[in-house]
Structure 1
Amino acid sequence: MRKEVDEVESVLAELREALARAGIILPSLGLDPVSYAHRTMPPLVELGRCNTDTARRLAKALGER
């Protein structure tokens, strides 16, 4: 389980950095606590909630790819 958590934390760091380069901050970005506590489910990334301005910037950044 620790290996999976380390992997999620690494992906979270990568995602935070990529979002920051696009000028986007997702305050609730983190490790999903329910999946972390689950015995058989792998840990998941919780993208969290954001305001409409952030959602628009995220949509724009994804559309530029």
Structure 2
Amino acid sequence: MKNRDEVETVIKELREALARAGIILPSLGLDPVSYAHRTMPPLVELGRCNMDTARRLAKALGER
């Protein structure tokens, strides 16, 4: 059984962590196809972003 609250919590945590790094992914959310699938674990949809956001994301990940 998939716990939607748990998935939403993970998405919220990721959205907040990205925001602290100055990154906003407007399409960030739960992938409905994976959530509806009987055996597949739910996937987080990161969505599309512009080049500036992609550069900020790459920089933030490289700082670790």
Structure 1 residue 43, shift from structure 2 partner: 1.0
Q: Which runs of 5+ in 2 are unaligned?
A: none
- After superposing on structure 2, the runs of 4+ consecutive aligned residues of structure 1 that deviate more than 3 Å are none
Structure 1 residue 6, shift from structure 2 partner: 1.6
Structure 1 residue 36, shift from structure 2 partner: 1.1
Structure 1 residue 26, shift from structure 2 partner: 0.2
Specify the alignment match of 2:42 in structure 1. Answer: 43
Coordinate RMSD, CA, aligned: 1.0
TM-score by length of 2: 0.91
Structure 1 residue 4, shift from structure 2 partner: 2.8
Structure 1 residue 46, shift from structure 2 partner: 0.6
State percent identity of aligned pairs: 90
How many residue pairs end up in the alignment? Answer: 63
Q: Distance in 1 between matches of 2:52 and 2:3?
A: 32
Name which of structure 1's ranges 37-46 and 51-60 shifts more when overlaid on structure 2.
Answer: 37-46
